[in-house]
């Protein structure tokens, strides 16, 4: 069987799809999968043994310059890649209008969530086969159920297997002189940021306990934040900017990862690295890190989780975002110690 999978973004969403693909691989001998994904995340599908071809897409960029995308042949080249293979089925695992639009051009029976299950209900109208999947579940579970329904095997009840750890088993790992933790303070939403002063205070406790700390960064703001944290002790260093594979190799060296609700925390979970994830404006119930050795700390605050990108709380608080007033350094340090001891 040869399928086309459409899951374009974001980093966490792409990672959440991997267990469903592993299930399908175990149930269907000789399954082959091609994957349509946004260019920045194209590395990830290549780590899974079932994926034979990755078809990069750049919808985010193309929407900003549609005429140039059309006139320079970029769109036509993408359509040629998308249509060169006849598929047994085309699975839209995203359930959005943009992903349904891409599925329309592929050769094969289009399958996806039904009207009441899709994230954007109108996307379901594009599919030829629609499946009801309960929404009040974690997205990993929903996708595993969707694949099982489409490919006609029993819905799995086992622990999720992301299927990518074997890819890194042969990768060489740097040797650290002391046990190491990785902090992930960077994220796209302002409301997801745990306060910088908290990170500094936590870092002081971690290095005092004998651990090294490593910090990734992806842009100038994240670099500046990482530098502020690293300035407090020589046992704290920055991870050189690189691709996702390099970051994955770094994560595999960590005793524990501490992060906010960000894509790299989901990557750590997929690699089965013990991870402590902090949630304020968002919640872990449906989209949190998922797998073994995952610990969630949810802020309990009158307006949390608000699921908003901007903090709208107007009361008097000592920190920003306001909801992190409930996630003190003491509380995070206590949870981190428990995770380290286990």
Say if residues 162 and 291 touch (Cβ distance below 8 Å): yes
Average model confidence (pLDDT) for the chain? 94
* Residues 152, 206 within the same domain: no
Residue 12 confidence (pLDDT): 95
Based on the structure, what is the number of domains in the chain? Answer: 2
Q: How open is the CA angle 154-157-160, to the nearest 5 degrees?
A: 110
* Residues 171, 298 within the same domain: yes
Choosing from 113, 131, 163, the residue where a domain stops is 163
* Residues 174, 158 within the same domain: no
Could you list the residue range(s) of the whole structural domain that residue 95 is in? 2-163
Residue 313 confidence (pLDDT): 87
Choosing from 106, 129, 163, the residue where a domain stops is 163
Residue 174 confidence (pLDDT): 52
Distance CA 282, CA 294 (A): 16
Distance CA 279, CA 300 (A): 10
Beta bridge partners of 89: 3
* Residues 320, 182 within the same domain: yes
Give 2-26 pLDDT, tens digit per residue.
999 999 999 999 999 999 999 999 9
* Residues 133, 175 within the same domain: no
Residue 18 confidence (pLDDT): 98
* Residues 23, 117 within the same domain: yes
Give 289-308 pLDDT, tens digit per residue.
999 899 999 999 988 999 99
Give 165-188 pLDDT, tens digit per residue.
989 876 545 555 579 999 999 998
Give 40-83 pLDDT, tens digit per residue.
999 999 999 999 999 999 998 888 888 888 988 899 999 999 99
* Residues 178, 57 within the same domain: no
* Residues 13, 146 within the same domain: yes
What CATH code is carried by the domain that includes residue 311?
3.40.50.2000
- Residue 109 clears pLDDT 70, i.e. is over it: yes
Backbone angles phi, psi at 17, to 5 degrees: -85, -20
Residue 173 confidence (pLDDT): 52
pLDDT band at 316 (very low <50, low <70, confident <90, very high): confident
Beta bridge partners of 112: 130
Beta strand segments in 39-175, E = 51-57, 89-92, 110-113, 129-131
Tell me the three state secondary structure of residue 240. coil
Beta bridge partners of 181: 213, 256
Distance CA 35, CA 143 (A): 15
* Residues 133, 179 within the same domain: no
* Residues 38, 122 within the same domain: yes
* Residues 53, 143 within the same domain: yes
Choosing from 163, 191, 226, the residue where a domain stops is 163
pLDDT band at 315 (very low <50, low <70, confident <90, very high): confident
Average pLDDT over residues 112-136: 97
Residue 63 confidence (pLDDT): 86
Average pLDDT over residues 110-135: 97
* Residues 216, 113 within the same domain: no
In this structure, what token pair is assigned to residue 334? Answer: 């206590």
């Amino acid at each position: 069987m040869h399928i086309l999978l459409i899951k374009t973004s974001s980093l966490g969403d792409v990672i959440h799809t991997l267990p469903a693909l592993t299930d399908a691989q175990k149930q269907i001998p000789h399954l082959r999968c091609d994957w349509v994904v946004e260019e920045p995340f194209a590395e990830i599908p290549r780590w899974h043994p079932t994926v034979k071809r990755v078809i990069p897409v750049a919808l985010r960029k193309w929407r900003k310059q549609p005429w140039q995308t059309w006139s320079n042949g970029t769109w036509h080249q993408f359509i040629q890649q998308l249509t060169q293979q006849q598929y047994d089925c085309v699975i839209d695992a995203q359930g959005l209008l943009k992903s349904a639009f891409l599925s329309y051009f592929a050769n094969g029976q289009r399958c996806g969530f039904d009207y009441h299950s899709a994230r954007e209900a109108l996307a379901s109208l594009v599919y030829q086969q629609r499946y009801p999947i309960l929404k009040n579940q974690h997205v990993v579970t929903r996708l595993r159920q969707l694949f099982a329904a489409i490919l006609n095997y029993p819905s799995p009840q086992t622990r999720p297997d992301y299927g990518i750890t074997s890819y890194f088993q042969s990768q060489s790992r740097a040797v650290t002189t002391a046990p190491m933790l990785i902090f992930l303070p960077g994220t796209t939403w302002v409301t997801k940021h745990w306060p910088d002063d908290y990170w500094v205070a936590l870092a002081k406790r971690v290095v005092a306990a004998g651990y090294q700390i490593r910090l990734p960064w992806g842009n100038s703001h994240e670099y500046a934040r990482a530098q502020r944290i690293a300035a407090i002790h020589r046992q704290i260093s920055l991870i050189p900017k690189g691709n996702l594979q390099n970051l994955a190799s770094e994560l595999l060296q960590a005793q524990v990862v501490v992060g906010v609700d960000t894509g790299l925390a989901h990557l750590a979970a997929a690699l089965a690295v013990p991870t402590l994830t902090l949630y304020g404006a968002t919640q872990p119930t449906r989209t949190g890190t998922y797998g073994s050795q995952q610990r969630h700390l949810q802020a309990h605050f009158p307006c949390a989780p608000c699921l908003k990108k901007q903090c709208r709380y107007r009361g008097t608080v000592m920190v920003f975002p306001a909801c992190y007033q409930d996630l003190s350094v003491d509380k995070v340090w206590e949870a981190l110690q428990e995770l380290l001891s286990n």
